[in-house]
Amino acid sequence: MSILRLILGDQLNREHTWYQDDKNCLYVLMEIRQETDYVRHHIQKIVCFFAAMRSFADELLKAHKSVLYIKIDDPNNTQSLYENLLKVIEARKIQKFEYLRPDEYRLDNQLNDFCTHLKIASQVFDTEHFYTSREELGEIFKGKKQFLMETFYRKMRQKHQIMMPNNQPEGGAWNFDKLNRQKYDNKVPVPMPIDFKNDLSYLKEPIEACGADYFGDINWQQVIWPINRTQALQALDFFIKKCLPHFGTYEDALSTQHWSLFHSRLSFALNIKLISPKEVVDKSVAYFYRHPELVSVQQIEGFVRQILGWREYMRGIYWLKMPSYQTLNFFNNQKALPSWFWTGQTKMNCLKQSISASLKNAYAHHIQRLMIMGNFAALAGIDPDEVDTWYLGIYIDALDWVEITNTRGMSQYADGGIVGSKPYVSSANYIDKMSDYCGKCYYKKSEKLGEKACPFNSLYWHFHHRNRAKLNKNPRIGMVYVTWNKTSEADKALILAQADSHLANLENL
Ligand SMILES: Cc1cc2nc3c(=O)[nH]c(=O)nc-3n(C[C@H](O)[C@H](O)[C@H](O)COP(=O)(O)OP(=O)(O)OC[C@H]3O[C@@H](n4cnc5c(N)ncnc54)[C@H](O)[C@@H]3O)c2cc1C
Ligand code: SF4
């Protein structure tokens, strides 16, 4: 063998052109502590990554490719990407090293460094996964101070001609948000989410024995997530037929009864590249055109916006702003994350439900991530490093490029407004409007003061009060300060004192 080709755990793209021409190539995949340990992960995340990698390696072997798979419990496994590669290169007398461009900055750096010190030739290839290159967003916004997602999204729709009859947006508008975003009202039944019941118990012993630290629940015999391309395509098909017809309408709804509502649950399969964003968008759009009686334009537009818009946009921001992005802390927040983020044991029902579901499934849908956990963390002034660590560990789909931009950027506003034009924070009013959480809560959603007053209410005002100098001039939040200015000094003092007592007592909320 003269060429060694590295496949990272999130590069399981069987459609890559690499595989069309691989004479004299040895593919290497490895399960390493370097990757299980860079943050404390949910057990389902570790297990599903390993299962998907093993399944991918099997597929390559079945296609008569040469594959070296280094398992976590292999005695020759050094548990380091760098060291394992060096060992293989020497042992197999490799003459050239090839790899696919990593999505994560830390791995990109590591492999750049590796190649710089390598005595043999090396070459890097694109992953052929995204619509955009790493640099494209930077080029679109060259010389601009603002990076509006909406501008980027419209350019993508035009460039890729997605739902653009006569070069105009389908349905006569770019955005149907006003029609969407309803509370779940039981008018249409939520389909039973597709569940692959993968028996992954063969990974229990090696993972438990390897010494990696992890948390969260798992049913080893019935793991729900797609771990190969066939399952990923089934999940996509299920989503299109069962969930897409109501996706937009309920995309912001929150429900105690339904943990993923009409969401696709495709993020893991997408992020490890079992399926591509293009095939997700193309198949969904084709279904919309075939079945306009089932899928209205507001549903499909809402979905396409997530993949072609938000997902590509976040990646572009990541590559434009790293490495400084990962240290941004606009509000200089320093508080520790309350320990109940790791257990769900809080009296606040919205957080209890959303965190418990996250621990059970390694998943929360967007509005839980943004307007429940993220909202609370921002209002409470939690250190964004701690918030990032939690999000990066708990969610099955969490990879730095998409986690950090969403968490530090969109949800914590720690980037000072690169991703979002204003902080996504709210009082209980919004949470009650979009969910069924407040009715069963220990706290009273309409009260600001007193032992049973919902903490979100006073914390909301405290957040705006303490960050006034940084937010005052933001045109999108002017009304908040108008209302606050009208509040009497005596009432302000009571609200701020209530919030202060919550902030001093976060552990016991
Ligand atoms: C604080 C916070 C942290 C997040 N961390 C991650 C993360 O680590 N990994 C991740 O993939 N997504 C992350 N997201 C984005 C989004 O919440 C998830 O992609 C989504 O919940 C995954 O579930 P789904 O596949 O059912 O999504 P759906 O609601 O069905 O959306 C379809 C797809 O659109 C894409 N998408 C939707 N919103 C976003 C977004 N804001 N950014 C990027 N892609 C998007 C995803 O690929 C998703 O699979 C985060 C959002 C927030 C607010
Ligand atoms: S009352 Fe407050 S804490 Fe309770 S569920 Fe509603 S928003 Fe959450």
- CA–CA separation, 173 vs 41, rounded Å? 41
Q: Report which of residues 473 and 497 the model is more confident about.
A: 497
- Residue 337, CA distances (Å) to 221, 383, 505 in order: 32, 7, 12
- CA–CA separation, 398 vs 381, rounded Å? 22
CB–CB of 395/225 below 8 Å?
A: no
Residue 180: per-residue pLDDT: 83
Residue 103 — very low, low, confident or very high, per pLDDT cuts 50/70/90? very high
Instruction: Give the CATH number for residue 369.
Output: 1.10.579.10
* Closest ligand 1 atom to 410 CA: 53
If asked whether residues 114 and 31 sit together in one domain, one would say yes
If asked whether residues 330 and 304 sit together in one domain, one would say no
Instruction: Give the CATH number for residue 290.
Output: 1.25.40.80
Q: At residue 161, what is the residue type? A: Q
Give the residue from 242, 1, 301, 4 showing the smallest Cα distance to 123.
4
Question: Which of 321, 355, 371 is the endpoint of a domain?
Answer: 321
Nearest CA to ligand 2 atom 8: 350
The answer to whether position 16 is within a domain reads yes
If asked whether residues 299 and 348 sit together in one domain, one would say no
Give the residue from 251, 243, 240, 241 showing the smallest Cα distance to 178.
251
Residue 179: per-residue pLDDT: 84
Instruction: Give the CATH number for residue 44.
Output: 3.40.50.620
Nearest CA to ligand 2 atom 1: 445
If asked whether residues 143 and 267 sit together in one domain, one would say yes
* Closest ligand 2 atom to 427 CA: 7
Nearest CA to ligand 2 atom 7: 428
Residue 132 — very low, low, confident or very high, per pLDDT cuts 50/70/90? very high
The answer to whether position 439 is within a domain reads no
Question: Is 258 a residue whose pLDDT tops 90?
Answer: yes
If asked whether residues 332 and 317 sit together in one domain, one would say no
Number of domains observed in the structure of the chain: 4
Other CB atoms within 10 A of residue 449 CB: 13
State the number of CA atoms in the 13 A half-sphere of 303 facing the CB: 33
The answer to whether position 432 is within a domain reads no
What is the percentage of the chain residues whose pLDDT exceeds 90?
Answer: 95
The answer to whether position 131 is within a domain reads no
Read off φ and ψ for residue 85, nearest 5 degrees.
-60, -45
Give the residue from 178, 181, 156, 179 showing the smallest Cα distance to 169.
156
Distance 402 CA to ligand 1 centre (A): 8
* Closest ligand 2 atom to 456 CA: 2
The answer to whether position 157 is within a domain reads yes
Other CB atoms within 10 A of residue 149 CB: 20
Average pLDDT of 189-211? 95
Distance 42 CA to ligand 1 centre (A): 17
If asked whether residues 313 and 334 sit together in one domain, one would say no
- Residue 155, CA distances (Å) to 136, 167, 308, 406, 418 in order: 11, 11, 10, 21, 18
If asked whether residues 344 and 363 sit together in one domain, one would say yes
456 lines ligand 2 (CB under 6 A): yes
Residue range(s) defining the domain that contains residue 387: 324-421
Nearest CA to ligand 1 atom 22: 267
pLDDT tens sequence across 18-75:
999 999 999 999 999 999 999 999 999 999 999 999 999 999 999 999 999 999 999 9
If asked whether residues 35 and 163 sit together in one domain, one would say no
DSSP annotation of 69 = E
If asked whether residues 156 and 305 sit together in one domain, one would say yes
Question: Which of 321, 349, 370 is the endpoint of a domain?
Answer: 321
If asked whether residues 302 and 328 sit together in one domain, one would say no
Distance 121 CA to ligand 1 centre (A): 38
Which of 256, 340, 349 to mutate for ligand 2's pocket (most ligand atoms within 8 Å of CB)?
Answer: 349
* Closest ligand 2 atom to 437 CA: 5
Residue 1: per-residue pLDDT: 59
Question: Which of 98, 125, 152 is the endpoint of a domain?
Answer: 125
Ligand 1 pocket list (CB less than 6 A): 263-267, 270-271, 306-307, 310-311, 314, 365-366, 369-370, 374, 391, 395, 397-398, 402-403, 406-407, 410-411
What pTM does this model have? 0.96
The answer to whether position 114 is within a domain reads yes
Strand, helix or coil for residue 506: helix
Question: Is 255 a residue whose pLDDT tops 80?
Answer: yes
- Closest-approaching ligand to the CA atom of 436: 2
If asked whether residues 222 and 347 sit together in one domain, one would say no
Distance 435 CA to ligand 2 centre (A): 10
The answer to whether position 101 is within a domain reads yes
Which of 351, 372, 431 to mutate for ligand 2's pocket (most ligand atoms within 8 Å of CB)?
Answer: 431
Residue 146 — very low, low, confident or very high, per pLDDT cuts 50/70/90? confident
The answer to whether position 130 is within a domain reads no
Instruction: Give me the chain's average pLDDT, please.
Output: 96
In the numeric block, the tokens 């019935």 are attached to 222
If asked whether residues 15 and 50 sit together in one domain, one would say yes
